[in-house]
Structures are given as C-alpha cells and as structure tokens.
Structure 1
Amino acid sequence: RHVTGAEPGRVIIMGETAGMQELMQWPKGWLVVTVMKGTHLPKTDTIGLCDPFVKVSLGEHSVKTKHVRKTLNPTWNETLELPVDAGEDVVGKFIEVHENNLEHARSIACLVVQLYDWDVTGNELIGHCYVEVYAIMERIGRPGAHGLELLLEVKDENELTVFGFDGQPTKLMVRIRFVLDEEAAQAKAAARLAQEERKRRKRMSLALEEERRLQSQIIEESLQRQMEAKERFLAQLQRESMMGGDVFACGGGAFGQTGLGHILEVITPALIRYEALPCTDMAAGVVHSLFINEEGNVLSCGSGEWGQLGLVQPGVSTSEEQDLGDEDFVYEQLVPREIHFHPPLFGSGSLKIVQVAAGARHTMMLSECGIVFSCGDGRYGALGYEEASQRMPRRVDKIAGCGKSVSAGSYHSLILTDDGLVSSCGTGNVGQLGDLLEIETSGGEEERGEAAMMRAEPQVIPGCSNIIFITSGAFHNLVIDREGQVFAFGSGGHGRLGIGEEVEKVLRPIKVCGLDSSVIMASAGDYHSLFLTGKQEVFATGSNQFGQLGLAGRGGGKERRYVLRPLRMEAMEDMEVSHVSAGSQHSLLVTREGDVYACGCNFSGQCGSGGKTALETPTKIKFLEGIKIITASAGSSHSFFLSSKLARRQRLTAQMVIGRIRNQSLAKAWDAWQREVDASYEIADWLHEAAGLQQEESWTEARAEAQTLLTWVFRDMDKALHAKEQLAHSEAWSLFKAFDLDGSGALSPSELRLALDSFGYSEEEVDFIILRCSDDPDSQVDFDGFLQGIWPVISSEHEELQ
C-alpha cells in the first residue's frame, strides 16, 4: 500500500494504484538531508562510550557524516546531498526488482539511514531506519520549504527497537528537503561561499593564535634564561623528594583512574599525591585503579559504577547497624581513597592486604592470611559468589585452600592457592575458565546456553598443578609452574596464547613453546602476552597492531600485525629486565637499574613519552630518569610506575645533608617568588630546622651559600613579575581553548561547568564563579569574560594542575 504522511521510520512497500501514478510525475532533483543529532545510544566501547557516525543511502548513492568521539548523545548538524531520480525511472526500477529482491526494492524507494560505531579495527552497525521518501515528497518538495524534521527510531537487523544506555529507545533526528537541479546548483554555490568564508576566518584565527604564541614564546625564553640555574637545583630536589614508594601515573583519566585529581590526559608521568604513602603495590584496570600502602590498606580511584571501588560517601558509617543504600556509595573518585571493610564480613581486628587485581568492572583482593575478597560487577560470576553487584568488599568463602595470588580478567577471575592449584570463576565463553570441557560433555551447545558458560563458585582447574604464578588478560590466562613452564588457555585470537596457531578458544591449559629458558614472570594483556625468563630476556606474542610487541628491531615493526609464537625483544637484549606489564595494547618493561621502557599504543599518553604517537620499539621514558622504578602496571589506557622504597630508609651522609639544605633553601625561595612574597623574610629558623641535629663542619658554608642563592633569586624581581603577568595571559588562552570543546570561541554553560568541576569546585562555588562573568547563568562566556571573571579564581589551581 502507498501511505502518504506515514509514520517516520516505518517501511512502506509501494502500491500499484494512485500512488504509482502520482510518483511518476515527480521530477529529477536532489535530496538534502541534515543529520542533526542522536539520543540514547547504546554503550559499544569497553569504557562505556561510543564513536558514532551516520550513513545515508538512496538507491545506489550513499554519503556519511563524520564520527563523533566518546559520546552517547551525539550532535552532528551535517548536511548531506543525494541525487533523486525522476519518478518514472524509480517506478520502472521498482517494478523490475521487487518480485525477486524485496530489500533492493526498499533501497530504491526508501531512504536508508544507518547508525554505526566507528573503530580503528572496523565499524560496527548499531541499527538502521527506513524513510519512504516518495510518500512524503509532497511535504518536503514545496518551494522555499525549510524541510521536514523527523525523529527516527533505530531498529536492529531483526527490525526490533534498539535501546540505549539508559533503557530508552535509540533515536535519530534528521531534516529532509527536496530541491530541483537549479535550486541544488544555487545551494551548492552558496555552500561554497560559506565554506570559503569559514576558511578565511579560520586562517585569521590561526594567524592571531600564532602571533600570541610567538609573544608567549619570547616571554618564556626571557624567563628561561633567568631560571636555568634554579631549575637544575629544583629538578634534583624533586627527584630526591619523590623517591621511595611513590607512584607516578600517565595516560587517559576520563573517569579519574589516573588518581591525579582530574579527568585530563597526562602524557608524561606525574606524581600521585595522597597521604597514605608509601605504596607497595598497585593495579591498573580499565576504568578504575587500586593501590596498597605499607599498612596493608587498599586505596581506589576511577569509576565505581558497579561497585568496583568499594568506597562509601564521606561521612557514611560502615558499621553493622546501618543499612547502606545506593546513594551512600561512590560512583567516581578522582584521587585514591582508602577502602573501609565492613566489620561483620571478617570479624574484628586489623586486615592487611598484600595483593590487588583490577578487572573490567570488578576488584579482587588477597590478604596476608590468604583470605580473598572481591567487589564490583558479579553478573558473570567473576566475584566468586552469587551477587549481581557487590559495592563493598566481601569474602570469597568457597576456595579449595589458602589464597596465595589473585588475578582478574574482563569478566573472570583466577585464584592461586598455597598447594599450587588454580581455581577459576566467571564467564568462560572462550575457555578462560580452563575447564569448560566438563561442561561441554554434559550437553550440546544449544542445551547449555549462556548460563552454562558462567560459574560463580570457584572450582579447581583440572590438570593444572604446581603453579607458582598466574596472570589474566581480558579473555585469556597464563600460568607458570615450578619448572618455569608456561601454560595458556582462553581466547587464542591474534596468537595471544603463543601456541603456534590462531584459534577461537582453548578450553584447557596448553603449554607455550618456543621460550629459550624457564620463565619467572608473565603478563597477559588484552590482545598480547609478555614473558620474562630467568636470563632477564623478554619474549612477546599476539597482536602487534601498535607495536606493543617491540619487534621493530627484528625487522618486523608495526607492519607485522601479529605473531603466533613468542619472539624475543632484541631491542632489550642488553638490558637486565626485572618486570614486565602488558596493558590493553601497550607494554611496560622495567630494568634492574630502575629505568622504564614502553612500546605500543599511545593515543592517551599511556606510554609516558611526552607525545601521543605509537611507539614501535621499546623506548626509554626519559621523564623518569633519576628515579629508581621497581615495578609498573599497564591498564587499558593508563599506566602506573612504583619507585623504590629503600631511599626512605637510608641514612643521609654529611654531603647529602649539605646538598639537601642548599636545594631546599633554593626551593623555598622559588616558592616565595611565585607567591610574590617580600624578599626580606628571615630564613635562619628554617635553615636551622632543615639541618636538624646534624653537626657538620660545613654547616656555616652551606648556610652562606643558601643565603647567596636566595638573594640571587630576588635580584630581578620586578622584571620577572612583569614577564610573569604576560605569561599568565598566554596560559589563560591555552586553558580557554582546552575548555572550548566545540571550538566555537565561547564557553557554553555545560563546557564551563565541566571545566570547573575538574578543579574540584562544589556546585554552589561553580554558580558563584559563573555569575562573576554574567548575570545570566545560561549565557556563553568569551575569552575576555573568562580572563576577567574566571582566570583570577582558578589560576592557582591551574598552576597546581600543571
């Protein structure tokens, strides 16, 4: 039937009566489709976001929009043009094919709108909509018509409604207009003029920005000449103060998983500052992170959507008498915060945690006495007990022995006991539980279903004994026995298991061959694996899409997309490697000297190289030079580095004491210069405190040297402060551009609130700051308003953030 003005999104098959005759009268022209926005998109990426774009097709012609990164409610506002055949031709084609190929007939008569998720490895179709163009041609083809706006409901391949992240139907808003060829030519000419005007404005903006950059560079070079000597002392002081159990972080922190107090990407390692130092162990997951301090307390940060943080809101008691609701728990934490265990779960007394593991949405913890705890998403059984979501750490009771080590994959967990046996729980759809063979023999694939692929109670993996080390990737596992042999099971895609062939799944542990000597450590990433032998040699296998295997030295490079057997990293042959860590698609290597090398994906700065270019060969992280790193943890898009604890316990020699007094004096003077303090303040008391009870013959000489350096710092105070004011203007412009997400040249209320939230302001403080710029809280703020109303308030926080 031909239905005029039909419901948008519904497929209508053309009839053979009056509708056909009316259609044959339509002339040839252009269909102008404006893709405006989408709402309620489903989560398709591992971090719970989407990179959507829209493809529009009519007959044999198709066009698509640009993809929008990391959003579930995208806005495109892109105008696309498709040629429309004359009605007589369309009817002829329709009659020719509709009897044999109904889908082809639909594509001729209907506008097909397809919603995709963009990805580096391949685009994924989310759903589609059909619009019977010729049924609404009369409404969209009127001269001077603005167009018809349609809200289309997205359907999947089975013509079922697609639901988004919040349970609402996924919808697309488009505007459709039909123009004749002459009108289309005029519209294109107008579009070309508009595009040229935009390019001209962009050139002017770039020229202005370049001028400001040059001015800022001149000021910075002037200051640099005055500060070179001071910076050398300060850099040494910073390295000395950071050594000893400190944790450094870099990479993406969209949910606060870097623990640095903000959600920005950090491309060089930055010190995590929190009170419960030093740190003894850490684990980087997908969207959350875990830390252990010397007292055995666990700290967490990042996303807690499924309870994986194990944190309650400040002021909420975890006593036995109080029942906690969903609003009492933390769903996002920007800095590491201590987890308080619920006393009734394990009785009174202190509890010391010695190991943590971070999965995609759950957390595993091992205490000193061998008790295993877990929290987070339990829908797939990864917690070790029947619970859909556990928001506070709970003991895993049904373990065959005393826990010795734990590991966490995306949706499964492994537990190593002191008798050398390994237990598994969670989902085993690709064999990551290591014993699905027993389940497989109990019934066919259809009879088992999805429920049979999951197990909440940990069970011992058969044929896996004398194990001393375990590690879990997203969907595969590696275990090492006492003889140094490695066994692998789980997903075998891209050769990540290192068994010589690419298989969909390996249901039982199988030996990894090709390693020259016994293996003492291994690390399983999402798509690759790393092995460290007793000779301190590193072997790698699996995906090499971003160079994470570090094989450029073998003539392979990134063009060798994956390998099926472990290959030696020849670039690390002269290094005594002591620790390896495999992330989602990058690798970290730590040497005995404390140096760190990184390779692989670096889109979020997770390699800490100072840029975002992928590293095809192991590259030394120069920003950690002078700091002895003992271990590292690679997450999905971020990394952690733990420095040595020995420096905290070493007694300072006389020469080190004098050097520290000199450096700390200069550091205090530098701090005073930044705060514009008068140069005449007394430092004698501070110098006496810094010396402590150390009685050194060179004390008088050191104090005199410090006083001379202090005077030198304030020598050009007025000139330096003037230059600092000019530099602040340049910094304000850089920060303003970072906050202007859509590049419009002005900050919208949502952009401004997001920016101020990243500095830790409360909602009341944000409202007060916005009112400093305008009486209307919904108005946009240009750069002048930002400089006068907001920059003076946040400039101190910006310096701290930098």
Structure 2
Amino acid sequence: MSDSSSAGLVEALAHALVGGALLKAGRSGKPHFRQFRLARVLFEDVNEVRIGQKTKVFSSNRMIEHEHISFSLITSSRTLDVICKDVSEFQLWTMALQAIVEGRIVGDSPELTDALQLADSGAKSSELTVQVRGKSAVVQRREDASDLYTWGDGASGRLGHGDEECRLVPQVVEALLGTDVRTFATAAAHMGAISPAGRLYMWGRGGFGRLGQGHERNRVTPLMVGELRETKVVALAAGDAHTLALTDSNAVYAWGSGADGRLGFECAKKRTPKEVPAAGALDVTQVLCGAVSSAVVTAAGALYTWGSSDHGQLGHGDLTQVTEPKLVDALADAGVAVAFAAMGVSHTAAVTTDGRLYMWGSGESGKLGTGSEADALLPTLIDHLTDVKAVALGASHTVILLADGSVYACGSNRMGQLGIGAKDVVQETRPVRVSLPDGLVVRHISSGNDHVAAVSADDKVLTWGLGLGGRLGHGSEANHWQPTFVELFNDKVVRTVECGGAHTAASVVHGWVDDGETKQCMACKSPFTFVRRRHHCRRCGGLFCGSCSSRKFPLLSLGFSEAVRVCDKCYSIVSN
C-alpha cells in the first residue's frame, strides 16, 4: 500500500471510529438519523458493502437524489442501510468499511493503530449528533459555518453588496450566503474571501488588476478568481493595489500593481495571479501586505520583506526597494523567531514566539512606540511591553494586544483611534492602555487607516476611531473616542473582524438573517409586503419571497431528512 493510500485509509478509519450521524433507512416508516461509530458495528457476519440503494429496504424507502451517497452492509440475515450527508463522508465511511470487510484491516494492523491514535487525539466529529429520547431521536447540529458582514465606505463596490453605497451598520454579503467564509482580507478599496474548499472570491476596485480577474474593472459583488479555481488557497493579504495568496502546496501568488517590486518579481502590473518564484522554497505560514510592500513569515520564524522601503519599512537598514523576498537579517541575527507580523501604510511590526514586539519604518506621530517620531530603518525592540500576542497597524497609529486580553495603542489620536477617551490628546509616542469596558478581555484586533476593531473573548465586536462613511458600524458617521460595542452583533457569535482603509468586515457564525436586516427579497430585490411575505432558506439562511424560494430539498448535512424550503440558488447547488 502506498504512503498516500495508507494515510487516506487511516483518516477514513479515524472518521469512522469517531462516528457521526447517518440517515438510516428502515423496513417501515421514513428514514431517520441515528448515531453510528465503528465500534458499534459487528463485522463477523458482514459479507459485503453494497454501494447505492440496491436492497429491499431501500426499495421501500427510495431517496433517488441521494443514491450516490448511500450504501448497505449485507449479512446473511439482514441489511443495514444508510445514507451519508455528503460525498466526502460517504467516501470515508465506505473506504473504512470495505477495508475491514475485505480483511485488509485486522486487530494489529498499523493503519488501525494509527487511526485509534488520531481519533483519541481529537479528530473532528460530525457536525450532527443524535440523541435518542424514548422512541424519538433528536438531531442536534453544531454550527461551524460563517457568513461575512461588511460596512462603511462602499466606493468601488468594496462592500460586496452590489452597489457603491455606504453602510452605517453591518450587512451580510448576500452573494456569499451559503459559501462559508473562513478567511478573508481587507484593503484600501478591495476585498477577498476564501471558502473551506480553498476557492478565492474577490471584489471592489479593479485597477492594476488587483482582483486577479484578467482585467481592471471594478466588481460590486464577489467573483471567484478563475485562475486559481484548481488551487486551494489557504491565506490571503491585500495592499493598496496588489494582492498575495498562499496555497496548500506552499506556493505564494501575487497580482496587481508591481510598482516598487511589491509583487516579488519584475512586472509593472499583473492582472492574473502569478507565483512568486523566490518564495517557493520558504515554507511560508503567513502572507502580508503593506500599502506598497509585501512580506511572508516562514515556519522557522523568519521574516522576508520586499517592495517599497521609502520609510525603511522593509527593515533592511536602508531606503532601497527590493524586488524579491529578502530575509530581515536584523531579526535573524538576533536569534528571534517571528510568530506573527503586520504591515501598515509605512511601518511594520513583528511579534516573536516569546511575546516580544519589534517595530520599524515611519515614526510619524510616534506610531513606533519608541518615545519619538524618528523613523527606524531596522527592527527596534519595544522593551516596555511583554507577552505581546498580536499587533495591528493603521496609517499613523499602532494597536497592540497582550496575552492577558488587554490592549495598548500609540501614535496619532486625532480621530480617537487610540481609544483612550481623551479628545485633547493628539498623540502618544509610547503605548498607552486602551479604555476597554471593565472586565472585558479582547482576543483579536484589527486596524484601518484611522479606525480600530476588536473581538472580545465572548465573541462581540467593539470599534473606535474615525466614523466617516459608517466604518464603525454604529449607525452614524460620528467618531468614537473609546471602544464601543457594535449593537447588531449583540445576538451573534463573531469569529473575527478585519478593517480596510475606510470599511470593516466580520465573519459571523452562520444563522438565519434577522427579519429586520433586509426589507426586500435577497434574490429578486422585490420589497416585502403583507402579500409578498418573507421566507428563510434553510440552507443559506437568507430572506426571500415565495417565488424565489418555492423549491424544497432534503438537506442531510443540516439535519433535515425531509425536504425543506430552499432558495433557487441553493436548490441549484444541492440538486446538482
């Protein structure tokens, strides 16, 4: 058995050992969910794993739309007939069961030993669990998908709502409902989002080809980047006019403006993704973009930078631009390993694995936290802060998150971006503590040009700083001089938030769109009335009129064994 096939079998066995909810067809009544795991199945009498719906039990409980994910265990006296929730689950279960029935897996098989270890180490269980209560079974679902909300300045379509209007409060990106956005990146005027399958969607300003679509037109709604359709993208970063992406094969791609060498190869502009040759052997774990520069962090903790260094933001000790990834020697020579890095408009920061913070580049308004406004051409240790967890950089300020959940900031406070509540303080050249609500613990921070967003330990969003265009999400354009909760997320679970130059985005655990969030059908845009009533699609959670959600389909992966209402878009996806 080859290494790859052996690894696949171990994964399949571990999946079956952990178990999950499968739809069981019976001799009478409708199919129902039951919890299965490998330890509960006896194989001494199993003669065959029969693919499809080819037994007497299935003939009386036919679900033809799910025949491709159905199988039966055949014994001399009966059959166990089940339907999986999706193709991936079907492939894992049938691979494991067939290996056992065919005798390729026995008690001392190394694959089984490895699978037991993998299962015990926390292999992911099914999102559905079944609890049997008396004669009934209750299906419970652990929601793991995410929706994307955006708000603020909508110029060039950067919010993805189909227009260029500003949004004063967060609004779900309807075009991505049902896509499950896990990772996304914001920039000055464009955005990108990645699905679990690694599909990359881009929208906003298209100048210089920064959307990777082969042209320079703006996009007001998300569109998949066709050039990377067959590639799994795992990380994304966006600068003022360029974009970087990291794939699961450890390749780094760049596109957009190539001015100052920011793409990592000689090119004035690139309208479609191109691999950065010099990054291919670096074992990259993070990609990041400044306004006019780029960087990567490697698994070994090395930082490489390239592009413009007009303020020394590359950290190489001079103002010379670099056209391909170059090691920041000052960090390497100091023997520090970088865990996380961030780039702003004209300065850069790195957090080491032992919680130290280095900053360099433009010192305007004291944003380097060194006590002065002088530029730094080499990484400078901010030695009065320890246990640093993350850092976020704005145009003229810096925000720092410590391991205990407290937040510090330095630089300009002209728009309230330091979050200290004092309007008379113009700037701070050393980090000062942000005025968070009493007892609040922060787990994530992000910064735009002049505003800041944070996610608390209990998954709520706070914003502060410049409010122009509605980027703070509080329903107005007023500045906020200290952290304020975004009310729309009070009843939601927020995973992460990211700030663009003048807009903000958040990924939120998937749920039905609240009735008050839209007054029109998300498909045909007809307004809801007493006659044209609103209906929720059970798959994406969006709100639609009856004409745009008249179809029904059994959504097994969501725990619906019988057909339920779905919108036309979701019906097209699941039925195909």
Specify if TM > 0.5: yes
Alpha-carbon separation, structure 2, partners of 1:690 and 1:464:
52
Verify the 8 A CA contact 2:210 2:216 in the aligned structure 1. Answer: no
Q: Equivalent pairs: percent with the same residue? A: 26
- Identify if the C-alpha distance between structure 1 residues 611 and 582 changes in structure 2 by more than 3 Å, giving closer, same or farther: same
Which residue of the partner structure matches residue 147 of structure 2?
246
Residue 182 of structure 2 corresponds to residue 280 of structure 1: yes
Alpha-carbon shift at residue 244 of structure 1 (Å): 3.7
Alpha-carbon shift at residue 404 of structure 1 (Å): 1.1
Alpha-carbon separation, structure 1, partners of 2:344 and 2:533:
52
Which residue of the partner structure matches residue 500 of structure 1?
371
Residue 408 of structure 2 corresponds to residue 543 of structure 1: no
SS of the aligned residue for 2:371 comes to coil
Pick the structure with more strand per residue.
Answer: 2
Q: What is the 5 A alignment of 1:332-731?
A: 332-341=218-227, 350-399=230-279, 401-437=282-318, 453-465=320-332, 466-503=337-374, 505-515=375-385, 517-552=386-421, 557-644=422-509, 673-675=530-532
Which residue of the partner structure matches residue 204 of structure 2?
302
Alpha-carbon separation, structure 2, partners of 1:693 and 1:293:
22
SS of the aligned residue for 1:563 comes to strand
Alpha-carbon shift at residue 360 of structure 1 (Å): 0.6
Alpha-carbon separation, structure 2, partners of 1:573 and 1:534:
17
Verify the 8 A CA contact 1:401 1:419 in the aligned structure 2. Answer: no
Alpha-carbon separation, structure 2, partners of 1:375 and 1:519:
32
1:228-267 deviation per Cα after TM superposition (whole angstroms, max 9, x unaligned): xxxxxxxxxxxx9x99400101001111111111101110
Alpha-carbon separation, structure 2, partners of 1:544 and 1:625:
27
1:39-68 deviation per Cα after TM superposition (whole angstroms, max 9, x unaligned): xxxxxxxxxxxxxxxxxxxxxxxxxxxxxx
Q: Quick one: which amino acid aligns to residue 449 of structure 2? A: S
Q: Quick one: which amino acid aligns to residue 431 of structure 1? A: G
Verify the 8 A CA contact 1:514 1:565 in the aligned structure 2. Answer: no
Which residue of the partner structure matches residue 199 of structure 1?
none
Verify the 8 A CA contact 1:428 1:436 in the aligned structure 2. Answer: no
Alpha-carbon separation, structure 1, partners of 2:234 and 2:425:
39
- Identify if the C-alpha distance between structure 1 residues 690 and 417 changes in structure 2 by more than 3 Å, giving closer, same or farther: closer
Alpha-carbon shift at residue 521 of structure 1 (Å): 1.1
Verify the 8 A CA contact 1:243 1:627 in the aligned structure 2. Answer: no
Verify the 8 A CA contact 1:499 1:513 in the aligned structure 2. Answer: no
Of 275-284 and 493-502, deviating more is: 275-284
Alpha-carbon separation, structure 1, partners of 2:403 and 2:322:
36
1:4-24 deviation per Cα after TM superposition (whole angstroms, max 9, x unaligned): xxxxxxxxxxxxxxxxxxxxx
TM-score after normalising by structure 1: 0.46
Alpha-carbon separation, structure 1, partners of 2:555 and 2:325:
55
Verify the 8 A CA contact 2:554 2:561 in the aligned structure 1. Answer: no
SS of the aligned residue for 2:488 comes to helix
Alpha-carbon separation, structure 2, partners of 1:383 and 1:489:
21
Alpha-carbon shift at residue 560 of structure 1 (Å): 0.7
Q: Quick one: which amino acid aligns to residue 547 of structure 1? A: G
Pick the structure with more helix per residue.
Answer: 1
Q: Quick one: which amino acid aligns to residue 329 of structure 2? A: P
Q: Quick one: which amino acid aligns to residue 500 of structure 1? A: G
Residue 120 of structure 2 corresponds to residue 255 of structure 1: no
Alpha-carbon shift at residue 674 of structure 1 (Å): 4.5
Which is bigger in relative contact order (C-alpha 8 A, separation at least 6)? 2
Q: Quick one: which amino acid aligns to residue 225 of structure 2? A: I
Alpha-carbon shift at residue 673 of structure 1 (Å): 2.3
SS of the aligned residue for 1:604 comes to helix
Q: Quick one: which amino acid aligns to residue 187 of structure 2? A: G
Alpha-carbon shift at residue 571 of structure 1 (Å): 2.2
Alpha-carbon shift at residue 499 of structure 1 (Å): 1.2
- Identify if the C-alpha distance between structure 1 residues 558 and 351 changes in structure 2 by more than 3 Å, giving closer, same or farther: same
Alpha-carbon shift at residue 424 of structure 1 (Å): 0.8
Alpha-carbon shift at residue 406 of structure 1 (Å): 1.0
Verify the 8 A CA contact 2:435 2:482 in the aligned structure 1. Answer: no
Structure possessing the higher radius of gyration over alpha carbons: 1
SS of the aligned residue for 1:341 comes to helix
Alpha-carbon separation, structure 2, partners of 1:627 and 1:522:
25
Verify the 8 A CA contact 2:182 2:196 in the aligned structure 1. Answer: yes
Alpha-carbon shift at residue 520 of structure 1 (Å): 1.2
Alpha-carbon separation, structure 1, partners of 2:244 and 2:388:
25
Alpha-carbon separation, structure 1, partners of 2:254 and 2:359:
24
- Identify if the C-alpha distance between structure 1 residues 628 and 507 changes in structure 2 by more than 3 Å, giving closer, same or farther: same
Alpha-carbon separation, structure 2, partners of 1:686 and 1:382:
49
SS of the aligned residue for 2:468 comes to coil
SS of the aligned residue for 1:337 comes to strand
Alpha-carbon separation, structure 1, partners of 2:551 and 2:304:
58
Q: Quick one: which amino acid aligns to residue 422 of structure 1? A: L
Alpha-carbon shift at residue 631 of structure 1 (Å): 0.5
Q: Quick one: which amino acid aligns to residue 532 of structure 2? A: R
SS of the aligned residue for 2:380 comes to strand
Alpha-carbon separation, structure 2, partners of 1:273 and 1:549:
33
- Identify if the C-alpha distance between structure 1 residues 304 and 690 changes in structure 2 by more than 3 Å, giving closer, same or farther: closer
SS of the aligned residue for 2:469 comes to coil
Alpha-carbon separation, structure 2, partners of 1:421 and 1:689:
49
Alpha-carbon separation, structure 1, partners of 2:469 and 2:144:
26
Q: Quick one: which amino acid aligns to residue 454 of structure 1? A: Q
Alpha-carbon separation, structure 1, partners of 2:400 and 2:559:
49
Alpha-carbon separation, structure 1, partners of 2:257 and 2:551:
52
TM-score after normalising by structure 2: 0.63
Q: What is the 5 A alignment of 1:32-111?
A: none
Q: Over the residues paired in the alignment, what is the CA RMSD in angstroms?
A: 2.9
Verify the 8 A CA contact 2:210 2:255 in the aligned structure 1. Answer: yes
Q: What is the 5 A alignment of 1:170-181?
A: none
- Identify if the C-alpha distance between structure 1 residues 338 and 694 changes in structure 2 by more than 3 Å, giving closer, same or farther: closer
Which residue of the partner structure matches residue 107 of structure 1?
none
Q: Quick one: which amino acid aligns to residue 590 of structure 1? A: V
Verify the 8 A CA contact 1:380 1:455 in the aligned structure 2. Answer: yes
SS of the aligned residue for 1:453 comes to coil
Alpha-carbon separation, structure 2, partners of 1:562 and 1:354:
37
Gaps of at least 5 residues in structure 2 are: 1-140, 516-521, 535-545, 563-576
Number of aligned residue pairs: give it.
388
SS of the aligned residue for 1:463 comes to helix
Alpha-carbon shift at residue 675 of structure 1 (Å): 2.4
- Identify if the C-alpha distance between structure 1 residues 695 and 339 changes in structure 2 by more than 3 Å, giving closer, same or farther: closer
1:605-650 deviation per Cα after TM superposition (whole angstroms, max 9, x unaligned): 00000000000110100012111111101011100011136x79xx
- Identify if the C-alpha distance between structure 1 residues 576 and 388 changes in structure 2 by more than 3 Å, giving closer, same or farther: same
Verify the 8 A CA contact 1:592 1:630 in the aligned structure 2. Answer: no
